[in-house]
Amino acid sequence: MSRSIQIACLQTRPMPDCEMAIEEALNLGVEAVVSGAKFLALPEYCGGLVTKNGAFVPPHANEESHKFLKVMREFATKNSVWVLIGSIAVSAGRGKYFNRSFLIDSNGAIVSRYDKVHLFDVNLSEREVYRESDFVVPGGKAVLVNTPFGVIAHSICYDIRFPNFYRAMCKAGAEIIVVPAAFTKTTGQAHWHLLNRTRAVENGAFVVAPCAVGAVSGGGESYGHSLIVNPWGNIIVDGGENTRVVIGKIELSAVKSARSRISSLKHDSDYEISLANS
């Protein structure tokens, strides 16, 4: 089993339709392959994203007929690379959809699926309000997947604010946490780097976090700054604020090293809480 891999985060823009999203993903994908990447990671809603009155209304289709998924599976096969589709909108019926992530192997096979568990319902200000749950059906389980280069833990964007979610997956063996996102610029400037580095440090895991960048049709702006963070919390690469390919090499032996130095996963336990002045 190879324990190192060249990873590319494709820092795409939130496109208003699937065709434009495919064109940009393929252009950046070719650049990543030419640069030697063997694992390509795309952001959340990489198949298109539109907002309407604070709700997310991206283009969506059934999984079997979703054009973005089909094209990226073909790309993975043609170029013998693994591809993380950060998420696309998959129809769930009655006007709703799943915010679903896919991991595709180098033969084009879907090896895992994950439906976003924690939905982005927040009030950032009187003018900036988001209600993902208006249209999205939440997932109900965490997902781990064995790959030739390590055990990957799925997550999407807002999930990163729930540390116990990652703790459970890393205690179950996860070595690489993926956090595809369309983080807002408001929250990104305040918390993006902090949260990704914290999840890496507290779990002794690599974090691969491709984030969309730029304005969203209908309102809002994605932060960019796609990150690859090592298990000691050091940022290997930072994508900045432009559309681009962000490449970094990870060596999985760093996970074992970090966890042997600070064994917090082994020391973790459930706690009884008592009120001192009761």
Enumerate the active-site residues. Answer: 44, 116, 157
Can you spell out the DSSP letters for 35-47? TT-SEEE--TTTT
Unique residue bearing structure tokens 């952001």: 43
CB-based contact 219:51 (threshold 8 Å): yes
* Phi, psi angle pair for 70, to nearest 5°: -60, -50
Unique residue bearing structure tokens 């990870």: 250
Distance CA 272, CA 260 (A): 27
Distance CA 177, CA 255 (A): 12
Q: Which amino acid is at 158?
A: Y
Taking the CB of residue 259, how many other CB atoms lie within 10 A of it? 18
Rounded to 10 deg, the angle between the 163-171 and 193-203 helix axes is 30
Question: How would you write 100-169 as a 3-class SS string?
Answer: EEEEECCCCCEEEEEECCCCCEEECCCCCEEEHHHCECCCCCCCEEEECCEEEECCCHHHHHCHHHHHHH
Q: Which residues of 247-257 are buried (b: 16+ CB within 10 A; e: fewer)?
A: bbebebebbee
* Phi, psi angle pair for 93, to nearest 5°: 90, 155
Distance CA 264, CA 231 (A): 13
